[in-house]
Amino acid sequence: MKTAGLIGGMGAQVTAHFYTKLLEKQNCIKEQDYLDIILYSKTSVPDRTAYILDNKNPDPRPALISAAVALEKAGADFIVITCITAHYFYNEISEAVNIPIINALDVVKEYVLAKGFSDVWLLATSGTIKSGLMLLPKTEIHTLPEDKQAELMDIIYTVKTAPNLTEPRLRLKNLIAQLSFPVILGCTELSLIAEEGHIDVLDLLVQKTLQIGKHA
């Protein structure tokens, strides 16, 4: 098996959730059969959306690149980044290392294309939305109006810091209830509070991580 390097900490709860999902998906009989993971919980990475919306804010790239380099030096064979907005810097991070980095955006594209969806709603950070990161061939992407997008961002930031997720979970449920097409949970914080039945990028990343890691 290959060793996966995980750039996490964005946010910390998402990183723990990803690792839990990874363990549950493997369901191994003995511990030696689980995929080796090197985890770098880089919580100090500056806000990705803040920088994308205004590059006068602190630049996340140096922290992301240093984390990737550290994981490569530690022995990772490939890298996973659990923050979708951080993929705005994907090319620059990839150029800094000699090991592959899973591109979560490509993973979503593959899934949507395989399902043949003609229309989807994209729930993601304003940084992801503004950057146009999520481009899906043959699929119309619908995004929230400005007031609802502001509400979604508030939900996302609440999830990052709230000890109790009951309130943001209910707010997200009410927001999604107004949408008519399949929903892409394009921010991994949403995986912590969304009901099942949506296109969960974190789930897709878990599947891709195991596909690469367990088929050396």
Rounded to an integer, what distance in angstroms lies between the CA atom of residue 48 and that of residue 52? Answer: 6
What are residue 37's phi and psi, to 5 degrees? -130, 135
Q: What is the pLDDT of residues 84-104, one digit of tens each?
A: 999 999 999 999 999 999 999
Where are the domains positioned within the chain?
4-103+203-213, 105-200
Q: Is residue 192 a contact partner of residue 161, using CB atoms and an 8 Å limit?
A: no
Q: What angle do CA 188, 196, 174 make, to 5 degrees?
A: 80
Q: Which residues pair with 120 in a beta bridge?
A: 141
Per-position pLDDT tens, the chain of length 216: 899 999 999 999 999 999 999 999 998 999 999 999 999 999 999 999 999 999 999 999 999 999 999 999 999 999 999 999 999 999 999 999 999 999 999 999 999 999 999 999 999 999 999 988 888 888 999 999 999 999 999 999 999 988 899 999 999 999 999 998 999 999 999 999 999 999 999 999 999 999 999 875
What secondary structure letter does DSSP report for 87? G
Phi/psi-derived region of residue 75, left when phi > 0, alpha when psi is between -120 and 50, beta in every other case: left
Instruction: Report how far apart the first and last C-alpha atoms of the chain are (Å, whole number).
Output: 5
Rounded to an integer, what distance in angstroms lies between the CA atom of residue 53 and that of residue 188? Answer: 19
Cα–Cα distances (Å) from 4 to 36, 80, 108, in that order, read 6, 7, 20
Q: What is the CATH number assigned to the segment(s) 4-103+203-213?
A: 3.40.50.1860
pTM value > 0.75: yes
Pick 105-200's CATH classification: 3.40.50.1860, 3.40.50.300, 3.40.50.460, 1.10.150.20.
3.40.50.1860
User: Any idea which residues carry the catalytic annotation?
Assistant: 83, 187
Task: Give the chain's largest Cα–Cα span.
Answer: 50
Dump the DSSP string for 97-148. -SS-B--HHHHHHHHHHHHT-SEEEEE--HHHHHHT----TT-EEE---HHH
Q: Is residue 40 a contact partner of residue 4, using CB atoms and an 8 Å limit?
A: no
Q: Is residue 117 a contact partner of residue 179, using CB atoms and an 8 Å limit?
A: no
- The first and second tokens of residue 144, run together, are 């929230």
The reply to whether domains 4-103+203-213 and 105-200 share a CATH topology is yes
